[in-house]
Structure 1
Amino acid sequence: MKRIKVLVAKLGLDGHDRGAKVVARALKDAGMEVVYTGLRQTPEQIVKAAIQEDVDVIGVSILSGAHIELISMLVKEMKDKKLNDVGLVVGGVIPPQDIPALKQLGVDEVFLPGSSLKEITEKIIKVASDKRGLSFEPVR
């Protein structure tokens, strides 16, 4: 059975990455392979890394408030590079009323503050399974 590979990225000028690192560690503990791109990534850098690493899911952490604009740019870049089978999840400080707009852009899941690591892990497994048509089992 294939391990899920997740790229965890900080998009834009946001300089806080503690949450992204906590999520990355939880995904690793669940048996996933995780690539962390670091701070201040552009949509182009994220998509390039996703292609190079052949990831199943891109996970973006955003705290800056520019999530709609930045995710729009990221989704466009993903479409331009034909990453139709790669999941996209977003987490961070996102007003709940912005979730429908993010989903309409193509985001598969949105995680707000207080989302449990278990919930994040389970939903990433579902997104990877839905997008790639494979079955994955978390490490217990």
Structure 2
Amino acid sequence: MTAARPLRVVLAKVGLDGHDVGVNLVARALRDSGFEVVYLGKRVPNDAIVATAIAEDADVIGVSCLSGGLGYFSTGLVGKLRERDAADIPVIAGGIDEPDEISRMLDAGVYRYFGPGSATEDVVAAFVAAVQDGRGA
């Protein structure tokens, strides 16, 4: 009998945001909780995120943007996942955007949104729940 592989997450910064302290803290918390983390870095286009998530057999994707545009990028990411028949990979978004944009991205299929100051434990719990729910876009 083989042991189940760890849950795998792909994390990336989208847009022009260069602030990566938060996503690095999330990466460490996920790793410490048993996730295998693939961090793509800053200014990663949606096509690269989707391609990596598929290639790495990711269970969930996390994207972050603090410079605005989180709704735009995460909604586009959900669309790209659908185009590639990978809508079963849930997307969790963190960062800053206008309330209407946050609502729009959640309506479009983003699993959860977290703003600045969110408790790390809540973020990790959402990644676990996204996998357990088996909910994609």
Q: Does TM, scored on the shorter chain, surpass 0.5?
A: yes
1:97 deviates by 4.2
1:96 deviates by 3.8
Aligned to 1:137: none
Q: 1:109 aligns with which of 103, 108, 112?
A: 112
Runs of 5+ consecutive residues of structure 2 not aligned to the other structure: none
Aligned to 1:36: 39
Per-residue deviation, residues 37-92 of structure 1 (Å, max 9, x unmatched): 01110000100110111100000011121122212221111110111211100001
Measure, in 1, the Cα distance between the counterparts of 2:96 and 2:76: 19
* TM-score of the aligned structures, taking structure 1 as reference length: 0.88
Percent of matched pairs sharing the same residue: 40
Which residues in structure 2 correspond to 1:1-140 (within 5 Å)?
1-131=4-134
| RCO higher in structure (CA 8 A, sep ≥6) | 1
CA RMSD of aligned residues (A): 1.4
Runs of 5+ consecutive residues of structure 1 not aligned to the other structure: 133-140
